[in-house]
């Protein structure tokens, strides 16, 4: 079989205007999330993390004498005509600062502030009495700022870390995917990740067959015995990583949403309405519910049909040989069709100006078997065998710095009630001489 040229323009590859606008909109959405995460994270760090860090690391200790006790009242206009008043118990201290006596009212902690004056009076009774000497900490840059207690508000730190982190991670990864997919057709962007990425994590060169440079070894593909045939092939599932990312994002976002909702609820129970906080809760809740819906939908689509397994009678494969292939499909319900393909994919990495681009294309595909009206039962999975024969002049698997040739079995199904699915199982095709040197038992030629 002659290896097709990779850089020939394929029909249907030109992107339509709607696809371009869709890609631009997707990139803009992820960019907005990234910017929002950076801005919100900067505000939280400067407004919460830095002051609290200074309080616990830069404030100097001292021994102060209580001169007086009282309530600090603060009135804030929540809206036109509505004034909200809070109360907090404080004490007036006399303490030494660099050999000079200084006096100042203590700064109340956030937990001590309450809209109820009676509650503040009760808390005032728990403070040290006048004349007592107590430990305190003051700001060396502003000695009139003194506190009675240090510590961290872990709920705010959780908010500072989780929410901006989730926005930056989700927005940044989505923007990177959009940029990498820019200018590629829908077919190219929908192509599954090829064998080299599975054999070469983090960009490392995969192990080669001894004596045949460029031919990838298949040790990682033959370490799982099959239930009926010799080997059970691993499945490539890039969608599972995307589903995991959506799940982590939904978890982090809704954890922050719960923290904000609890704070808003406590304020509401205390008679205070923070309109800014309630205004933030609405879009936060929309995004949080949307994230959960997307994750649950993806999880249902990934698990509704059930697992797919492919087994092969021998591995690696060789040109001109015939092999038995077993397709096992779990789940329940009806499949209108279930198809088994053998495909050859090419990948090329090249420079375009100052950018390095990677293009993939399925250049050869053969339908091995098709089953119609497949009824799935949870009690027993659907199992069927087929025979596949590789062409005599089939190109062997190949991996180099700039070019990759990979083979794979592809199972495509059309459920009765769910969207169609496609699952990929990589295989390695050796040159005939390489397979003979590998020392694996040969498979007898079979008709068909």
Mean pLDDT, rounded, of the chain: 75
Please report which confidence band the pLDDT of residue 281 belongs to, taking 50, 70 and 90 as the band edges: confident
Indicate the pLDDT class of residue 439, thresholds 50, 70 and 90. Answer: very low
User: Highest mean pLDDT range out of 298-307, 333-342, 411-420?
Assistant: 333-342
Highest mean pLDDT among 152-156, 222-226, 299-303: 222-226
DSSP code per residue over 8-75: SPPTT-SPPHHHHHHHHHHHHHHHHHHHHHHHHHHHHIIIIIHHHHHHHHTSEEEEEEEEEEEEEEEE
Burial of residue 298 (number of CB atoms within 10 Å: 0-12, 13-18, 19+): middle
Average of pLDDT values for 169-184? 69
Q: Are 238 and 193 in contact (CB under 8 A)?
A: yes
Exposure of 31 by Cβ count < 10 A (0-12 exposed, 13-18 middle, 19+ buried)?
A: middle
Q: Where are the domains of the chain?
A: 62-149, 193-234+304-438
The pLDDT value given to residue 239: 59
Select the more confidently predicted residue: 442 or 208.
208
Region label for 147, one of left (φ > 0), alpha (ψ between -120 and 50) or beta (otherwise): beta
Task: Report the pLDDT value the prediction gives residue 297, as an integer from 0 to 100.
Answer: 77
Span 286-302, pLDDT tens digits? 888 888 888 887 777 76
pLDDT higher than 80, residue 231: yes
Dihedral sign, CA of 306, 311, 315, 321? Answer: negative
**Which backbone phi and psi does 313 adopt, to 5 degrees?**
-75, -25
Q: What are the φ and ψ backbone dihedral angles of 84, each rounded to 5 degrees?
A: -110, 130
pLDDT tens column, 369-408: 999 988 888 777 889 999 999 988 888 888 887 888 889 9
pLDDT recorded at residue 265: 74
Question: Using one digit for the tens of pLDDT, what is the confidence trace for 42-86?
Answer: 766 776 677 878 888 889 999 999 999 998 888 776 556 667 788
- CA dist 234 and 243 (Å) reads 19
Q: Is pLDDT at 206 greater than 60 in this prediction? A: no
pLDDT (average), residues 219-239: 78
15: tokens are 């992107």
CATH T-level fold of 193-234+304-438: Immunoglobulin-like (2.60.40)
Confidence of residue 181 (pLDDT cuts 50, 70, 90): low
Mean pLDDT across 180-184: 58
Does pLDDT of 15 surpass 70? no
Summarised one tens digit per residue, pLDDT across range 103-148 is 999 988 777 788 788 888 888 888 888 899 999 999 888 888 898 8
Output the pLDDT for position 234: 86
Question: How many angstroms separate the CA atoms of 151 and 158, rounded?
Answer: 15
pLDDT-derived band of residue 187, with 50, 70 and 90 as boundaries?
A: very low
Structure confidence at residue 381 (pLDDT): 83
Lowest mean pLDDT among 30-39, 58-67, 326-335: 30-39
Q: What is the pTM of this model?
A: 0.48
Q: What are phi and psi of 388, to 5 degrees?
A: -125, 140
């Amino acid at each position: 079989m002659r290896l097709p040229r990779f850089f020939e323009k394929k029909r249907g590859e030109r992107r339509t205007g709607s696809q371009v606008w869709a890609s631009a909109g997707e990139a803009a959405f992820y960019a907005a999330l990234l910017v929002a995460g950076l801005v919100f994270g900067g505000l939280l760090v400067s407004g919460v993390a830095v002051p609290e860090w200074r309080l616990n690391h830069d404030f100097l200790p001292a021994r102060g004498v209580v001169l007086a006790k009282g309530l600090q009242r603060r009135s804030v206009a929540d809206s036109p005509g509505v004034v909200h008043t809070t109360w907090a118990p404080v004490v007036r201290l006399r303490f030494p600062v660099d050999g000079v006596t200084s006096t100042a009212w203590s700064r109340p902690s956030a937990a001590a502030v309450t809209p109820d004056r009676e509650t503040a009076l009760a808390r005032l009774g728990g403070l040290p009495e006048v004349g007592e000497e107590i430990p305190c900490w003051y700001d060396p840059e502003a000695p009139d700022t003194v506190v009675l207690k240090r510590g961290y508000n872990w709920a705010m730190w959780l908010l500072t870390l989780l929410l901006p982190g989730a926005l930056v991670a989700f927005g940044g990864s989505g923007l990177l995917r959009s940029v990498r997919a820019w200018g590629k057709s829908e077919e190219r962007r929908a192509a599954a990740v090829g064998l080299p990425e599975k054999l070469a994590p983090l960009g490392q060169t995969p192990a080669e067959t001894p004596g045949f440079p460029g031919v990838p070894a298949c040790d990682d593909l033959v370490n799982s015995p099959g239930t009926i045939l010799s080997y059970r092939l691993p499945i490539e599932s890039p969608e599972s990583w995307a589903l995991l990312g959506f799940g982590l994002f939904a978890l982090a976002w809704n954890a922050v949403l719960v923290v904000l909702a609890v704070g808003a609820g406590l304020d509401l129970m205390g008679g205070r309405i923070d309109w800014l906080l309630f205004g933030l809760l609405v879009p936060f809740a929309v995004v949080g519910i949307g994230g959960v819906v997307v994750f649950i939908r993806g999880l249902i689509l990934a698990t509704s049909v059930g697992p797919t397994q492919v087994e092969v009678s021998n591995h690696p494969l060789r040109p001109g040989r015939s092999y038995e292939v077993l397709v096992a499909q779990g789940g329940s319900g009806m499949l209108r069709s279930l198809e088994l393909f053998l495909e050859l994919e090419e990948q090329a990495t090249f420079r375009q100006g100052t950018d390095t681009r990677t293009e993939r294309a399925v250049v050869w595909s053969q339908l091995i078997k098709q089953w119609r009206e497949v009824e799935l039962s949870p009690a027993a999975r659907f199992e069927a065998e087929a025979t596949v024969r590789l062409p005599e002049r089939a190109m062997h698997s190949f991996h180099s710095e700039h070019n990759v040739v990979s083979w794979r079995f592809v199972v495509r199904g059309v459920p009765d009630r769910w969207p169609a699915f496609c699952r990929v199982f990589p295989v390695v095709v050796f040159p005939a001489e390489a397979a003979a040197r590998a020392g694996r038992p040969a498979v007898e030629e079979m008709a068909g």
